[in-house]
Amino acid sequence: MNMNGYRCVACAVVQTADYANFLCPVCGGNLDVSYDYAAAAQGMRESFSKTAHDMFRFAPLLPLQQPRAPFPLRVGATPMYPVRPAGEMGGMCNLYLKDETVNPSASLKDRASAVAIGRALDSGAGVVAVASTGNAGSSLACLAAATGLRSVVFVPASAPVAKLTQMLAFGARVLAVRGNYDDAYDLCLAASAEFGWFNRSTGFNAFTREGKKTCAFEIWQDLGGRVPDRVVVSTGDGNTLSAIWKGWCDLKAVGLIDRLPRIDCVQAEASAAINRTIAQVRDGNQQDVDWSGVCVSQVRASTVADSISVDRPRDGLAAVKAVIRSGGEAVTVSDRDILAAIPAMARATGVFAEPAAAAPWAGLKKMLREKRVTADELVVCIVSGSGLKDIGNTRTVVGEPIFIEPSLKAVRECQTA
């Protein structure tokens, strides 16, 4: 294993790899896993070129004892599709979708759960727990089932029924909290401490970022070793975005690339704590930001995109740093635009996203309109979760079927209507 320690995202104090807690002992900040990059670089090309078709082919840059999946399911190695230049996206000719909906539980979260489960096994834990808006929970439940571990999921009781059904089908103990995601999060922290469960919750657990960063490794491979100009990421807690950024930084650290993409942060208008903080830091116009002094905003979140509805982002600082360091855009989109993006993207590409996963499409469209992106840039939108996970809201914007009698005459009539 090439992992050699942790660095605090806020105060940069370092811990050794055997540090047993999850948060910085000095300031309580989130930790970021560090590696011996010189050691990881050795054999990296060979490891990356393996045909092993899952994310564990990136083992030299994963914090695990075993360089293979602890379950038979395939996580990662998802497809990336070029988007036809015509229409919807104003002539963009270098636009791609990274389709994370084909992971085992139908979201990008499986990458995080896969590494978390590997770490839980390494630490001898028998029960894994998570607080979730829905996808992290269905993901953990899925991969725990495939591994033979027990899982406990804390979700807001209002989570979409498809996500709750997934968790229950996988046999998780589902604790549907009468409160919001933030209430579920705090409860999961307290319960995991009391019962000794391995807590996979986003932000608190440093290993989720390590799993999700493999999405960036794959994009680089999918593009034949090119670095995109931007990667557009839907953001709630900020962990996914900071992970995508870390993936590119890792590739640079091991000498496989020599420049980095911009990472654009898309948030829903009424759940935009991270974008608000990015604007504040940029307004401050500081040359060298003192990250330990940056306090991420809190909001009263409310959006149809349940997966990114977050009052208090649990990995907000890491995401703010990533956007600022990469020179990315912070773009907020209305619920209306998010919902409109679902059929628009589905019809232009054949990829069906849940609201949060369609947000990058809406965000990119807005950035094009505002000339913050040009049509010739090489852009990747991450489609982070399947449309089948939340059809309730989508149903309102896709139109109605045409109900007919079972006769050819009825078909003829609706052709002319």
Using CB under 5 A as the binding rule, whether residue 203 contacts Zn ion is answered as no
Q: Which is nearer to ligand PLP, 121 or 335 (CB)?
A: 335
Closer to ligand PLP by CB, 234 or 303: give it: 234
C-alpha pair distances (Å), 331 with each of 5, 106, 237, 373? 34, 25, 15, 12
Please state, in angstroms and rounded to a whole number, the distance separating the CA atoms of residues 242 and 233: 10
Contact call for residue 341 and Zn ion (CB under 5 A): no
| Min CB(165)–ligand PLP separation in Å | 16
Minimum CB separation of residue 358 from ligand PLP in Å reads 9
267 - beta bridge partners?
332
Q: Is 23 in the site for Zn ion (CB under 5 A)?
A: no
Least separation, in Å, of the C-beta of 51 and ligand PLP? 28
- Which one, 147 or 275, has the nearer CB to ligand PLP? 275
> What is the Cα–Cα distance from 349 to 92, expressed in whole angstroms?
13
Select the span of 7-15, 61-69, 147-155, 169-177 touching Zn ion (CB under 5 A). 7-15
Q: Look at residue 103 and give the partner it binds from Zn ion, ligand PLP, none, a contact being a CB closer than 5 to 8 Å depending on partner kind.
A: none
Tell me the Ramachandran region of residue 408: left when phi exceeds 0, alpha when psi lies from -120 to 50, beta otherwise: alpha
Write the single-letter amino acid at 398: V
Smallest gap from Cβ 298 to ligand PLP, in A, equals 15
Supply the DSSP symbol for 330.
E
Minimum CB–partner distance for residue 23 and Zn ion (Å): 8
Residue 8 within binding range of Zn ion, rule CB under 5 A: yes
Nearer to Zn ion, 25 or 196 (CB): 25
Q: Which residues are within 8 A (CB) of 375 and not within 5 positions of it... i.e. 6 or more apart?
A: 90, 91, 92, 93, 368
CB neighbours of residue 19 within 10 Å: 14
Q: Which is nearer to ligand PLP, 83 or 310 (CB)?
A: 310
Residues of the shown chain interacting with ligand PLP in the complex, contacts defined by CB under 6 A: 107, 109, 133, 135-136, 202, 234-241, 307-308, 354, 356-357, 384-385
Tally of CA atoms within 13 A in the half-sphere of 249 that contains its CB: 19
Specify the DSSP element, H or E, that contains 332.
Answer: strand 330-333
If one asks whether residue 299 binds Zn ion (CB under 5 A), the answer comes out as no
Go through 184-204 and write b for each residue having 16 or more CB atoms within 10 A of its CB, e for each that does not.
bbbebbebbeeeebbbbbbbb
User: Does residue 27 belong to the site contacting Zn ion (CB under 5 A)?
Assistant: yes
Question: What is the smallest separation between the CB atom of 213 and ligand PLP, expressed in angstroms?
Answer: 12
Q: How far apart are CA 239 and CA 23, in angstroms?
A: 15
Q: Does 355 bind Zn ion (CB under 5 A)?
A: no
**DSSP result, 218-250:** HHHHHTTTPPPSEEEEE-SSSHHHHHHHHHHHH
CB-based closest residue to ligand PLP: 385
Residue number with CB closer to ligand PLP (44 or 237): 237
Q: What letter represents residue 220's amino acid?
A: W
Which residue lies nearer to ligand PLP by CB, 57 or 314?
314
The binder of 135, among ligand PLP, Zn ion, none, by C-beta within 5 to 8 A per type, is ligand PLP
